[in-house]
Structure 1
Amino acid sequence: MKPTTARAVHGVVAVVAAVAVVWQLALIVNGEAVLNESSRPDLGVRLARFVSYFTVLSNLLVLGCSVVLARNPLHDGLRWRLVRMATMVGITVTGVVHWFLLRPLLDLSGSSYAVDKLLHVVVPVLALVAWVVAGPRGQAARPQVLGALLWPLLWSALTLLRGAVTGWWPYPFIDVDELGWARVLANLVGVAVLFALCGFAFVAADRALARRSPRAA
């Protein structure tokens, strides 16, 4: 793929991710419910909770990486490779967990429904498509998988700590008050395994795609 085309592809992902995050932020500021919450806390609390969702964080990572690649589609570096792996694995898990665990529990309509689909379906799909068709190739390696697990593990620890103190849980599958510690920890182990499997899948796919496009690698 020509660099100009690759920049355009990543640029589209960046624009869609930005629209999704800003739109969700606008709904939060307006007091819209998230995951059918019945209460409407103060704005400061709503904003703090907004940046506490893994979905929002993974979409922000996609936005940041896409902006970098829209400027230079062959951007590289050791730290970049780790961030890129964490981003791709994070947004993939966001889509999978939403589809299988959260989607059946939601009853959204209007703007809330639209932005939910942007964050959980459209951005993950676009990010994956852009990774496949525009690369850059040859940057994924197995050691990055362990590093990519660090931020979701940190997010999980902070979320459990805050939930224990405040009683607020961003997702039903991590609600200790409802499910108990044993069930929640089992759920998180399952998600961690999913992260690792996705990471190794990205490594294998990157190698296969690099062999098909040696010049891009």
Structure 2
Amino acid sequence: MTASRARMLHLVVALVATAALVLQTVLVLQGGRVLDETSVPPLGIRLGRLVSYFTIQSNVLVAVTAWQLWRDPARDGRWWRPVRLAALVGITVTGLVHFVLLRPLLDLEGADWLADKLLHMAVPVLAVLAWFLVGPRPRTTWRTAGEALAWPVVWLVWTLVVGALSGWYPYPFLDHREDGGAAGVVVACVGITVLFLGLFAGVVALDRRLRPAPAEPVSPATPAR
């Protein structure tokens, strides 16, 4: 696929991810609940909890990297590579974990339902599809994967520590007070870690085998069309 078409696809991803984040933020500002919360905490706490969700962080990474790729579909850089890879794998995990573990817990309507579907379904599908079709590739090595893994590891440790101190966890499968107890949390953490490692390995392997993209050279100085 040509660079001009790559720009258009990255623009779609950027617009959908940004719209989803803005919509969810507006809903939180208005007092909308997230996941299985039944009460509405003060605004400062709501905003702090909003940015604590892995879903939000992964969508932010997708939005930021997609906007950059809209400007330059062949974007590259020493530290840009792990950020881009973290965005790709992180949003994939967001979609998979939501579909398997969180979807049965949700009973949303109206704008809350729309924000949920955009963040957990539309953006993951579009982001993965964009990478598969227009890259950019090759961009991934085992070193890149190791660097990208730092973000979810730090997020998990921080979430467990804050949860133990405050009693609030962004996801029920990380809460030791739920039916599974501490053992259930350990199983969930191990399972998600294995999922991350498998996805990183899969992206590294595909990045080496799929055709380089975009198909035509692009200068970073080339203006968006």
TM-score for the superposition, normalised by structure 1:
0.95
2:197 corresponds to which letter in structure 1? A
CA distance in 1, matches of 2:41, 2:120: 24
Q: Which portions of structure 1, spanning 4 or more consecutive aligned residues, are displaced by more than 6 angstroms?
A: 211-216
Alignment of 1:14-29 (within 5 A): 14-29=14-29
1:202 corresponds to which letter in structure 2? V
- Displacement of 1:46 in angstroms is 0.2
Task: Give SS of 1:32's match.
Answer: coil
Structure 1, gaps ≥5 residues long: none
Task: Give SS of 1:149's match.
Answer: helix
Partner in structure 2 of residue 128 of structure 1: 128
**Which of the two has greater helix per residue?**
1
Partner in structure 1 of residue 140 of structure 2: 140
- Displacement of 1:50 in angstroms is 0.4
- Displacement of 1:211 in angstroms is 6.4
**Is this contact kept in 2: 1:55–1:120, CA < 8 A?**
yes
Q: Residues 43, 60 of structure 1: CA spacing in aligned structure 2 closer, same or farther, 3 A cutoff? A: same
Partner in structure 2 of residue 114 of structure 1: 114
Partner in structure 1 of residue 195 of structure 2: 194
Task: Give SS of 1:107's match.
Answer: coil
Q: What CA deviation, in whole Å up to 9, does each residue of 1:113-143 have, x standing for no partner?
A: 1110000000000001110111111111122
Find out whether 1:13 has 2:13 as its counterpart.
yes
Alignment of 1:16-165 (within 5 A): 16-165=16-165
Q: Residues 211, 58 of structure 1: CA spacing in aligned structure 2 closer, same or farther, 3 A cutoff? A: closer
Q: Residues 212, 55 of structure 1: CA spacing in aligned structure 2 closer, same or farther, 3 A cutoff? A: closer
- Displacement of 1:145 in angstroms is 1.9
- Displacement of 1:49 in angstroms is 0.3
CA distance in 2, matches of 1:124, 1:58: 9
- Displacement of 1:7 in angstroms is 1.0
Q: What CA deviation, in whole Å up to 9, does each residue of 1:130-160 have, x standing for no partner?
A: 1011111111112222222211111111111
2:9 corresponds to which letter in structure 1? V
TM-score for the superposition, normalised by structure 2:
0.91
CA distance in 2, matches of 1:34, 1:212: 37
User: Larger relative CO (CA 8 A, sep 6+): 1 or 2?
Assistant: 2
1:137 corresponds to which letter in structure 2? R
Task: Give SS of 1:176's match.
Answer: coil
- Displacement of 1:215 in angstroms is 6.3
- Displacement of 1:214 in angstroms is 7.8
- Displacement of 1:180 in angstroms is 2.5
CA distance in 1, matches of 2:197, 2:81: 16
Task: Give SS of 1:78's match.
Answer: coil
Cα root mean square deviation, aligned:
1.6
1:207 corresponds to which letter in structure 2? R
Q: Residues 77, 154 of structure 1: CA spacing in aligned structure 2 closer, same or farther, 3 A cutoff? A: same
Task: Give SS of 1:120's match.
Answer: helix
- Count of matched residue positions in the alignment of Structure 1 and Structure 2: 216
**Is this contact kept in 1: 2:134–2:213, CA < 8 A?**
no
- Displacement of 1:213 in angstroms is 8.1
Partner in structure 1 of residue 184 of structure 2: 183
